[in-house]
Amino acid sequence: MAKITLVDDDENIVTSVSLALESHGHEVKAYFDGASGLAALENEPPDLAILDVKMPRMDGMEVLRRLRRTSDLPVIILTSKDEEIDEILGFNLGADDYMHKPFSQRLLIERVKAVLRRAGIEGEEPAPAAAGANGDAASRALKRGKLTLDPARHDCLWDGKPVKLTVTEFLLLQSLAQRPGFVKSRDNLMDAAYDDQVYVDDRTIDSHIKRMRKKFREVDPEFDAIETLYGVGYRYREA
């Protein structure tokens, strides 16, 4: 169903997670250190990467940081339960989700399903463009001022210049841009970007928004289309 690259130095976790994913039809390639994992991700990009944080030669956060220079492929981070800083840093670097160790294989499978579904890799195909007035509006290209979003191609342009967004960032921006001027609470944005079985807190949404703004300001230093309403939420301002 999907090609998944797993990078973790714990052989027991690699074996058990690989078996669980393969039992659901996924093709899994495993690596036991960050350096070899990064090389594989760059040379043969999968549909999804699962990265442990603490690994020899290169930790998972450094792998993610380097990966995000050139790729927006979905990433799930594996982190120790007591390392809250890992979650915050992971989201700031562009992770799409995280799992606390120890975790149940069943929950991991659900998280994998959710991330793949958000990426359009697993689940129902979007309605074709010719489906008529009742077709899936979420699959159509969206233009708001200088912004162009094409969900079918996962393309984002600002004033004609490409902006590379992760799956989660794309869904958050799409939710905001669909109704310019309307305020979206963090709960609204969580619902737009995450499935019901995935819980994230407020700072996760804030981290994604912060990273998204940084990407837009790399192509336009004057970018200010995403407004923060403190204590309320966010809105898209169409110039």
pLDDT digits (tens, 9 = 90+) for 22-35: 989 999 999 999 99
- Please state, in angstroms and rounded to a whole number, the distance separating the CA atoms of residues 109 and 96: 15
Residue pair 21/106 in contact (Cβ under 8 Å)? The answer is: no
Residue 40: pLDDT over 70: yes
Residue pair 73/99 in contact (Cβ under 8 Å)? The answer is: no
- Please state, in angstroms and rounded to a whole number, the distance separating the CA atoms of residues 207 and 214: 11
Same topology for domains 3-118 and 138-236, yes or no? no
- Please state, in angstroms and rounded to a whole number, the distance separating the CA atoms of residues 149 and 158: 9
Residue 151: pLDDT over 50: yes
Sorted by where each begins, the domain ranges of the chain are 3-118, 138-236
CATH of domain 3-118: 3.40.50.2300
User: Of 120 and 174, which is predicted with more confidence?
Assistant: 174
The SS3 assignment for 73 reads: coil
pLDDT in tens, 74-129: 999 998 756 666 667 777 788 888 888 888 888 889 889 888 888 877 644 443 33
Which CATH architecture does the domain made up of 138-236 adopt?
Orthogonal Bundle (1.10)
- pLDDT of amino acid 99: 85
Chain CA centroid to CA 69, Å: 14
Residue 45: pLDDT over 70: yes
Q: For 56-63, which contacts have Cβ atoms below 8 Å and span 24 or more sequence positions?
A: 56/9, 57/33, 58/33, 58/34, 59/34, 60/7, 60/34, 61/86, 61/89, 61/90, 61/93, 62/34, 63/7, 63/34, 63/37, 63/38
Please tell me the least confidently modeled range out of 2-11, 27-36, 132-141, 204-213: 132-141
Task: Tell me the helices (H) and strands (E) count for the chain, helix number first.
Answer: 8, 11
User: Of 44 and 133, which is predicted with more confidence?
Assistant: 44
Kindly state the average pLDDT of the residues 164-193. 87
Chain CA centroid to CA 70, Å: 14
- pLDDT of amino acid 41: 96
Residue 218: pLDDT over 90: yes
- Can you tell me which residue has the tokens 């290209």? 141
User: Of 111 and 37, which is predicted with more confidence?
Assistant: 37
| CA within 13 Å, CB half, 224 | 2
pLDDT in tens, 57-78: 899 999 999 999 888 899 999 9
User: If pLDDT is split at 50, 70 and 90, which confidence band does 134 have?
Assistant: very low
**C-alpha torsion sign, points 15, 21, 23, 28:** negative
Chain mean pLDDT for the chain: 84
